[in-house]
Amino acid sequence: MLFKELQIKNLKLHNRAVLPPMCMYMANKAGEVDRFHVMHYATRAIGKIALIIQEATAIHPNGRISNNDLGIWSDTHIPGLRVIVDEVHKYGGAMGIQINHAGRKAIYKKPIAPTALQFNPRYNVPREMTLRDIKKVIDDFKQAARRANEIGYDYLEIHAAHGYLLCEFLSPNTNKRTDAYGERTLLIKEVVKAVREVWPEEKPLGVRFSASEYVDQGITPEWIADLINELKPLGLDVANISSGGNVDEQEIKLFPGYQLEFAKIIRSKTNIITIGGGLIRDLDLADHAIEDGSCDLVYFGRLLLRDPMYVINNALKLGEEVRYPEFYKRAKA
């Protein structure tokens, strides 16, 4: 199943392997592309990863996770980002981008958040957002989506996980507002609608969710499933399922595939194209996850940092004959 093609709207994937968005901290302070990024993403395309999702890319300079995040808050970022996309396409991969605002976890001296609650003492105390701030963020997501389409990305993903801004609005632990945006799903719905005004209907749109906060009072996969069912009519096509990151003190039992059960619950309740993973260390587990209905695509994070050619080199273990790139064919065992 891992090597079965998948069609999502106009996007045809030659297998089910995904490089998830992972911060590389290699951009300059202006958020511009470095040659490293081109090499990093193109190498995974050469390794036959079907869908490559670019690291969390900031929609506003004050919404960066670090000073070395890639940016898409300005049209000046378009030429550099287009080089990444063109190079990945050259080697047969589909290129996605995750757009993000870090909220209270931003490096900015006075970050913004739904409520003025500090993540932990290492982070600055955020300022509670005004309605004007919220409208600006919605437009920033929209303009980032417009640029992503102009650049030529195949897939767009909105980051609503790991304790960043949209995740903060979704959680009862971080959203204590008493106005309309105290309704935790309102902002993500408005962002999806705004993005869909500029992101073509024929291109798939995804959201990455944290399906659990690992605390008694918090987001659950069942609650995320209900939200997804409300977002699907607004234009959501893909759910990328992760967990954690919003509560500082959390006990997470890590093991290969530890997030797959969240993905399975969500997929079963929504019937949406689901990306799952979590410390996947071999192709057998990835193949099983698709076979048993946990997800439709599997992301390999740390594994592909260690070995960008892992999928192509281990395909035969699943009885698959994967064609090596012509320039590497002498390496085939």
Domain map (residue ranges) of the chain: 6-331
Residue 13 in contact with residue 5, Cβ under 8 Å? yes
For helices 221-231 and 186-196, give the axis angle rounded to 10 degrees. Answer: 40
3-state secondary structure of 135: helix
Q: What is the pLDDT of residue 333?
A: 67
C-alpha to C-alpha distance for 61 and 74, rounded to whole angstroms: 9
Handedness of CA 72, 88, 163, 224 (dihedral sign): positive
Residue 295 in contact with residue 289, Cβ under 8 Å? yes
**pTM value?**
0.97
Chain position carrying tokens 């209905």: 293
Mean pLDDT, each 10-residue run in order, the chain (333 residues): 97 98 98 98 98 98 98 98 98 98 96 97 97 98 98 98 98 98 98 98 98 94 98 98 92 93 98 97 96 98 97 90 87 76
Q: Which of 67, 311, 54 is nearest to 208 (CA)?
A: 54
Q: How far is CA 127 from CA 2, 91, 180, in A?
A: 45, 44, 18
Longest dimension (CA), the chain: 64
- The fold adopted by the segment(s) 6-331 is TIM Barrel (3.20.20)
Q: What is the pLDDT of residue 93?
A: 97
Q: What is the pLDDT of residue 286?
A: 97
Q: What is the pLDDT of residue 317?
A: 85
Residue 170 in contact with residue 184, Cβ under 8 Å? yes
Pairing of β 112-113 and β 127-128: parallel
